[in-house]
């Protein structure tokens, strides 16, 4: 189900279904982002499996480099994912009001200016909103990314909680 964002008095629907899944640049950017940030949480678990101290250090350094690269690219990632979420209703097959990344950039700028109280005041908030909506729309499952992430986690020894476990953890954190 889509999320409605009112920008400049117009409602924009953010949804991650077929059009977003078929937007290669968006999926590529998401995979790069997840790949660059995925190992950060389990860096110690991955490194501890290695017997050579130099190899452990190398793994940790590479994970930090990847994480740094993704953090510095966060605005671009957020914008690309925002654009891909607008394609279903506002792209070529929709009302054609968002036909380019440039159109999405103008909307993001306006969104940040208009809605600081609604929680989307910068690129980090926009990225979080996009990823939350992807999860709500089943985008990770639709594209096969959920299976790929779970398989990667199994092979690396890093546990990736399923959706129910993530929601329970989030609710527990919110209730503290």
Q: What are the pLDDT tens digits along the chain (176 aa)?
A: 899 999 999 999 999 999 999 999 999 998 888 776 655 455 555 555 566 676 656 665 666 666 666 677 899 999 999 999 999 999 999 999 999 999 999 999 999 999 767 789 999 999 999 999 999 999 989 888 888 777 766 665 555 555 555 555 555 555 55
Residue pointed to by tokens 């792209």: 91
β-bridge mates for residue 10, sequence order: 7
Specify the pairing of strand 3-7 against strand 10-14: antiparallel
For 104, the token pair is 């999405």
* DSSP alpha helix (H) spans, 42-162: 43-48, 53-72, 74-90, 101-114, 123-137, 139-143, 145-156
Instruction: Please report the pLDDT score of residue 35 as a whole number.
Output: 72
Question: Do residues 59 and 50 touch, judged by C-beta distance below 8 A?
Answer: yes
For 87, the token pair is 């394609």
Question: Do residues 133 and 141 touch, judged by C-beta distance below 8 A?
Answer: no
d(CA 145, CA 147): 5
Of the candidates 5, 16, 169, 9, the one whose C-alpha atom is nearest the C-alpha of residue 91 is 16
**Domain span at 43:** 3-174
Q: How many structural domains is the chain composed of?
A: 1
Instruction: Please report the pLDDT score of residue 151 as a whole number.
Output: 73
Instruction: Please report the pLDDT score of residue 32 as a whole number.
Output: 83
Name residues whose C-beta falls within 8 Å of residue 49's C-beta, 6 or more positions apart in sequence: 157
For 59, the token pair is 């793994």
β-bridge mates for residue 157, sequence order: none
């Amino acid at each position: 189900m889509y999320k409605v964002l009112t920008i400049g008095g117009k409602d924009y629907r953010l949804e991650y279904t077929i059009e977003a899944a078929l937007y290669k640049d968006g999926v590529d950017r998401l995979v790069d982002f997840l790949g660059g940030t995925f190992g950060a949480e389990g860096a110690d678990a991955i490194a501890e499996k290695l017997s050579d101290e130099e190899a452990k250090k190398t793994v940790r350094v590479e994970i930090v480099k990847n994480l740094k690269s993704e953090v510095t690219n966060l605005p671009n990632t957020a914008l690309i994912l925002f654009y891909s979420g607008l394609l279903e209703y506002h792209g070529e097959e929709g009302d054609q009001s968002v036909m380019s990344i440039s159109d999405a950039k103008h909307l993001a700028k306006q969104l940040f200016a208009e809605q600081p109280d609604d929680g989307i005041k910068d690129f980090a908030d926009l990225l979080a909103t996009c990823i939350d909506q992807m999860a709500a729309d089943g985008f990770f499952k639709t594209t096969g990314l959920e299976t790929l992430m779970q398989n990667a986690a199994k092979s690396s020894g890093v546990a990736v909680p399923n959706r129910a476990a993530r929601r329970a953890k989030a609710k527990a954190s919110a209730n503290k």
